[in-house]
Chains A and B, each alone.
Chain A
Amino acid sequence: MRGFLPLTQFLPLKLARRELRGGARGFRILIACLMLGVGTIASVQSLSRDVLGGIDSQGRTLLGGDLAVRMMYHGVDADQLKALDGYGAVSASADLRGMARTEDAGKSTLVEVKAVDDAYPMVGKVQLAPPADGLTLAQVFAQKGDLWGVAVDQAVLDRLGVHVGDRVKLGTLDFEIRAVIAKEPDKIGTGGFTLGPRFLIARASLPATGLEQPGSMIYYDYRILLNPGQSVPAAKAELSRRYGAAGWHVRDSRDAAPEIRNFITRLATFLTLVGLTALLVGGVGVGNAVKAYLDGRIAVIATMKCLGASGRTIAWTYLIQVMALSAVGIALGILVGAVTPWALRDVIASHLPVDVQIGFHPLGLALAALYGALIALGFSLWPIGRARSVPAGTLFRELTQPAGGRPDRVMMIATGATLAALVVLVLVTSRETIFAAGFAGGAIVAFGVLGLAARGLTALARRAGRIDSLRRRPTLRLALANLTRPGAATVSVILSLGLGLTILVAIAQVESDFRGEIQAVMPAEAPAFFFLDIQHADRDGFRKAIGEIAGVTSVETVPSLRGRIVAVHGVPAEKAIVDQRYAWVLGGDRGITYSTAMPPRSHLIAGEWWPADYHGAPEVSIAKEVMLALGLKIGDELTFNIVGRDMTAKVANVREIDWGGMGINFSLVFAPGFLEGAPQTEIATAYAPRAVEPAIERVVNKDFPDITMIGVRDALATVDGLIGQIGIAVRLTAGIALVAGTLVLAGAIAAGERRRIYDAVVLKVLGATRGTVTRAFLIEHGLLGLMAAAVAIALGSLAAWAIVVPVMDLHWRFSIIAAFGVAVIAAVITLAFGMVGTWRALGRRAAPLLRNE
């Protein structure tokens, strides 16, 4: 096999250097496209590694120790506490939700209560806001008479309309607000999503609140600072082995904040893929720039072929030039990526509850550079391959047509191999392989579909240009002809601009449908309140009190316990997972109840419901997701750990649950007769119009201070706000892809400048006014924008439907606002660039051009 390198090894390098003396003017867009895409990926890589590095290096602080043991419903006994003391220093705390109320019970707010002992925090420091910043926690909590102190998040003051020094009630106990928390060192190590602001009290004050009752949903945490010389993994393994069956959940400082870590990792993956999308779009710009450059070098290429240059020499000469200039773009992108964390340092610090250590991450930057290099190579090999096939005889025929058709087989294979390598790199470097594979497949499909749609629209425009009534309008005829002439960049502009617009349309439509569901559909069917921690003794009084309020349409109460599946037919549950997509059913304790009747908004898909007077062996009804996770069938035996005790039950039936109604429902429902004696509380819902909600709040605050009350509409408003923020963030990143598409458009307009100037000159010579010429160019660019928008609206709506209906199981509605908005964006972009190009063309004098002709 003949070697791929030409015979004269370094000659292409010499030729490339000589060719580059002509300047890199035609490559500005190529450099900008690569800088944007590589810069995005490099920034994401740097930022995410800084954040994850911060989490890793502060594991002990975030966890509050080397190890953390968590139990639910009750704490450790004296022997167990003594055993924990043997490992090192121990700090105990209790986490629960509660309602903080003003003294007159006029206002209340859900809070996340944390009751800590004197040893807290063992690592790090709770920072208090001035003027309390000089106080210790002991001073803040100190009991003065009957009055304990509390430190709260600022949000508590805002929601209750109180200040430092005021009193608030938690349960049946009064607290004096003595400090505002500025920073809580182990906040994210405690858990994931929280609904309320922090309410930090002394552990000793919790019993007096009346909230610590049997069956109350309280997490008891024991943080351990190991004695010197002890190994964290060994200690964790020993604790898990000794007490795992007791329902202990042990974490260590190596994975202090798994929820945040997973979130950051997923976010980084998503944003990297968005950056890659921008880079892919930029690749179109790279291809266009290389093609335009090579079209201008046809005479030189043909000359060198006449002089004896082989195809390989030609290919290497121009490949070296392209990759050298691509390296400039990549280097600039790397620089952006390295500097971004520094530039966003303050923003990150204000939004993340972890100290971020800004650093230099060569691996992340190298990855971004490699992506950029593969894109540059993959999108330039095709035009280089075509140029290498330019016949030497071109010079004799004085052909001016650019190189067309396909390159030879070697180049096509090389192009395919490069893009395949890119896909492999995406899959190998992403921690979310399935998501990345979906992205890669989706990108290929999107490019293919966009390309086909663009070609289809161009063909349509070509046909429209032949319609008699349109042909009689010279400005429209010229515009259509310019869009459809051979070599026009119409397809590549629609493809690249269209991709960014498609993402925007899809995001806007999905968000519109999701928020529409939250704002309109869900509240109509959802209860006004959820109530937690209702003691069994209070249940009937609670139902009567709330049910008697005018306007309340119904009150439902259901017993509630917490537990988890530990085994399937004796096999540990983690080993029994058959579908990882539903592995979340084993993550932590789940809500469990028991009932004679099948819960509403459920229907059976397998098995039978037990009769109301069932008295047989323990049976359980499971949700479809549990069945799919563990591959269960009717009659299978499951072992549960409920309130620290193991019990076994057989699967009696499987239900499909409609969670959208937001009523009470459980994925695990036991038959009556087995759990009635276990420690438990009740949870309840109340259905009432919005106007009645204040009355319900007053009754609960006054007569049931121990009950936690969650306003559904407020919770939905919080979620809606979060979605809005996420939507902004996602739009910003999609905007990067749009910027890349705009660069491609700018490149296409720059490449067509010569032709546009020629058109303008000839038209003016023939008597066209400047207005006529301007109109023709603007119609051309306006049509281009509308074509890109049409493709984006169609494909974006389709993508949104595919996400909303089969994945999110919501109603899909076409959003005219989203469609119109995108069309406006597209038209503005193309017209703006078109105006710039037109202005330049009209500004040229005719004589010099005509003289040269």
Chain B
Amino acid sequence: MPSPMLDLTDVRLELRSAAGMVNILKGISLQVEAGERVGLVGPSGSGKSSLMMLMGGLERQTGGQVRVAGYDLSTLDEDGLARFRRDNVGIVFQNFHLVPTMTALENVALPAEFAGRDDAFELAAEGLKAVGLGHRLEHYPGQLSGGEQQRCALARALVVGPKLVLADEPTGNLDTETGQQVIALLFDLARRQGTTLILITHDNALAERCDRIVRLADGRIVEDRTTAALAAAQ
């Protein structure tokens, strides 16, 4: 039986703040299979972003084990984590975070360039065409609309064909219609590449489109169900 794409075992996270040590995650155990689409929901401060950061190697757990795509992330140093992300993880942010001094093509090519791919720009051009921005290759982020910027970010996240995509409120700064277009693209591309998708959202309808919903509250998983099961329960 193939190992899960994500295997979190009793993961704890404590962080130091001005008020002292804060328990962010209090023993999370979660397994996600390859190709699954998981909606991560919960109120503010429940630990969603922290959990996503652990999955992406952007934060180190205080206790427990985090295995992603077969890697035990605690064994990797900073550069090792960077290489891990480069080869395996795509991230989509709420605020897009495109580099303002680079064109759409250059932004999308970045992960492939970091990976040393000679065909980085060819891959980037294909990725932009796949998201409907084939005619905006040389435009700068400042020249793109919000939806176009997020589609560009989407192309960047998927350009090297990562095994895992982490999307943190990808439609948070978009109007409803544009957001739906972006989500449709995200789901479609992820399905086609067989990419595992972890999606943080406050939008219940959007969460329902995922295969599974994991609900966090106060640093713990309080609900973990498939959406088909919910429909069946209703």
Q: Do A and B bind each other?
A: yes
A307 to B117, CA, bound (A): 14
Contact B101 A305 (CB under 8 A): no
- Which residues from chain A contact B106 at a C-beta distance below 8 Å? 18
A300 beta carbon closer than 8 Å to chain B: yes
Q: Does B190 contact A (CB under 8 A)?
A: no
Chain A positions 2 through 29: 1 when the CB is less than 8 Å from some CB of chain B, otherwise 0? 0000011001001000111110000000
The residues in B between 110 and 124 inclusive whose CB is less than 8 angstroms from any CB of A are: 110-111, 113-116
A396 touching B58 in the complex, CB below 8 Å, given contacts A7-B116, A11-B113:
yes
> How many residues does chain A have at the interface if contact means C-beta atoms less than 8 Å apart?
29
Contacts of A308 in B (CB 8 A): 82-83, 85-87, 111, 114-115
B residues 13-56 near A (Cβ < 8 Å) are 49-50, 52-53, 56
A123 to chain B, nearest CB (A): 65
In the bound complex, how far is the Cα of B98 from the Cα of A305, in angstroms?
13
- Is there an interface contact between B52 and A307, defined as CB atoms closer than 8 Å? no
Whether the pair A396, B101 counts as a contact (CB closer than 8 A) is no
- Does B58 lie within 8 Å of A310, measured CB to CB? no
Q: Give chain B interface residues in 159-178, CB to chain A under 8 Å.
A: 168
Closest residue of chain A to B87, judged by CB? A308
In the complex, are the beta carbons of B59 and A393 less than 8 A apart?
yes
The answer to the question of B100 belonging to the interface, with a C-beta cut-off of 8 Å to chain A, is yes
Give the docked Cα–Cα distance between A302 and B93 (Å).
12
Q: Is the CB of A21 within 8 A of B101?
A: yes
Q: Chain B contacts of A299 at CB under 8 A?
A: 97
User: Does the CB pair A393–B58 fall under 8 Å?
Assistant: yes
Interface check B91, CB cutoff 8 A: yes
* A304 CA to B113 CA, complexed, in Å: 11
Q: Shortest CB–CB separation between residue B17 and chain A, in angstroms?
A: 11
Q: Give the residues in chain A near B100, CB-CB below 8 Å.
A: 22, 300
Q: Given A304-B110, A310-B79, A311-B78, A18 and B58 touching (CB < 8 A)?
A: no
Q: Is the CB of B93 within 8 A of A395?
A: yes
Query: What distance in Å separates the Cβ of A410 from its nearest Cβ neighbour in chain B?
Result: 12
Q: Bound state CA distance, A11 and B87, in angstroms?
A: 17
- A20's partner among B59, B83, B101 (CB-CB below 8 A) is B101
Q: Binary interface profile of B, 108-139, with partner A (CB < 8 Å = 1, else 0)? A: 00110111100000000000000000000000
- Contact indicator B58/A306 (Cβ below 8 Å): yes
How far does the alpha carbon of A311 sit from the alpha carbon of B77 in the complex, in Å?
Answer: 11
Asked whether any CB of chain A lies closer than 8 Å to the CB of B156, the reply is yes
Q: Which of A373-431 contact B (CB under 8 A)?
A: 391-393, 395-397
Say yes or no: A19 contacts B101, CB within 8 Å: yes
| Chain A hits for B113, CB < 8 A | 8, 11, 14
Min distance, Cβ B92 to any Cβ of chain A, angstroms: 10
Query: B83's contact among A19, A302, A310, by CB below 8 Å, is which?
Result: A310
Query: A7 vs B53: C-alpha distance in the bound complex, in angstroms?
Result: 26
**CB-CB < 8 A to A396: which residues of B?**
49-50, 52-53, 58, 168
By the criterion CB–CB under 8 Å, are B53 and A18 in contact? no
**Least distance between A761 CB and chain B CB atoms (Å):** 23
Cβ contacts under 8 Å, B82 to chain A: 305, 308-311, 392
Q: Is the CB of B93 within 8 A of A11?
A: no
Pick the contact of B101: A22, A304, A309, A392 (CB < 8 A). Answer: A22
Candidates A300, A306, A391, A395; contact of B85 at CB < 8 Å: A306
In the complex, which residues of chain B have a beta carbon less than 8 angstroms from the beta carbon of A312?
Answer: 79
Instruction: Determine how close the nearest CB of chain B comes to the CB of A147; give it in whole angstroms.
Output: 86
List, in ascending order, chain A residues with CB within 8 A of B85's CB. 306-308, 392
With a cutoff of 8 Å between Cβ atoms, the chain B residues found around residue A313 in the complex are 114
B76 interface residue (CB < 8 Å to A): no
Q: Check if A303 is an interface residue, CB within 8 A of chain B.
A: yes
Q: How far apart sit A300 and B113, CA to CA, in the bound complex (Å)?
A: 16
Name the residue of chain B whose CB is nearest to the CB of A11: B113
B52: chain A residues at CB < 8 Å are: 396
Bound-state Cα–Cα, A90 to B136, Å: 88
Check if B99 is an interface residue, CB within 8 A of chain A. Answer: yes
Contact with B along A291-320 (1 / 0, CB 8 A): 000000001101111111111110000000
Tell me if B102 counts as interface (CB < 8 A to partner A): yes
Report chain B residues within 8 Å CB of A11.
113-114
Cross-chain contact A307 with B114 (CB below 8 angstroms) = yes
CB of B52 to closest CB in A, whole Å: 7
CB-defined contacts of B87 to chain A, threshold 8 Å: 308
> Shortest distance in angstroms between A336's beta carbon and chain B's nearest beta carbon?
31
Enumerate chain B residues within 8 angstroms of A300, measured Cβ to Cβ: 99-100
A513-553 with Cβ < 8 A to chain B: none
CA distance A396 to B168 in the complex (A): 8
Residue pair A304, B78 in contact (C-beta under 8 Å): no
Q: Mark B67-94, 1 if CB is under 8 A from A, else 0.
A: 0000000000011001101110001010
B86 touches A18 (CB 8 A): no
For residue A397, which residues in chain B have a CB less than 8 angstroms away from its CB? Answer: 49
Q: How far, in whole Å, are A487 and B116 apart by their CA atoms in the complex?
A: 37
* Chain B residue with the shortest CB-CB distance to A306: B91
Tell me the nearest residue of chain B to A392, going by C-beta: B58
Q: Which of B113, B116, B156 has the most CB of A within 10 A?
A: B113
Measured in the bound complex, the distance between the Cα atoms of B168 and A306 in whole Å is 13
- Whether B97 and A395, one on each chain, are in contact in the complex, defined by CB atoms closer than 8 angstroms, is yes
Nearest to A18 among chain B residues (CB) is B102
Which one of A8, A303, A310 contacts B97 once the chains associate, using CB atoms below 8 Å?
A303
| A7: chain B residues within 8 A (beta carbon) | 116
From 311 to 341 in chain A, residues with beta carbon under 8 angstroms from any chain B beta carbon are 311-313
Q: Which of B95, B99, B114 contacts A8 (CB 8 A)?
A: B114
Query: Which of chain B's residues have a CB closer than 8 A to the CB of A303?
Result: 97-99
Complex interface: chain A residues within 8 A of B115 (CB): 308
| Distance in angstroms between the alpha carbons of A302 and B85 in the assembled complex | 13
Whether the Cβ atoms of A306 and B56 lie closer than 8 Å is yes
In angstroms, Cα B113 to Cα A310, docked, is 12
- Interface hub of A309, A311, A391 (most chain B Cβ within 10 A): A309
**Which residues of A sit under 8 angstroms from B168, Cβ to Cβ?**
396
| 7 additional contacts (CB under 8 A) given A306-B56, A313-B114 | A21-B101, A22-B101, A304-B99, A309-B82, A312-B79, A395-B93, A396-B58
| 3 closest A-B pairs by CB | A308-B86, A393-B58, A308-B114
A-B contact pairs, 26 of them (CB 8 A): A8-B113, A8-B114, A11-B113, A19-B101, A21-B102, A22-B101, A300-B100, A302-B97, A303-B98, A304-B99, A304-B114, A305-B82, A306-B91, A307-B91, A307-B111, A307-B114, A308-B82, A308-B83, A308-B86, A309-B86, A313-B114, A392-B82, A393-B58, A395-B97, A396-B49, A396-B50
Q: List chain A positions with a Cβ less than 8 A from chain B.
A: 7-8, 11, 14, 18-22, 299-300, 302-313, 391-393, 395-397
Binding site for A on B (CB under 8 A): 49-50, 52-53, 56, 58-59, 78-79, 82-83, 85-87, 91, 93, 95, 97-102, 106, 110-111, 113-116, 156, 168
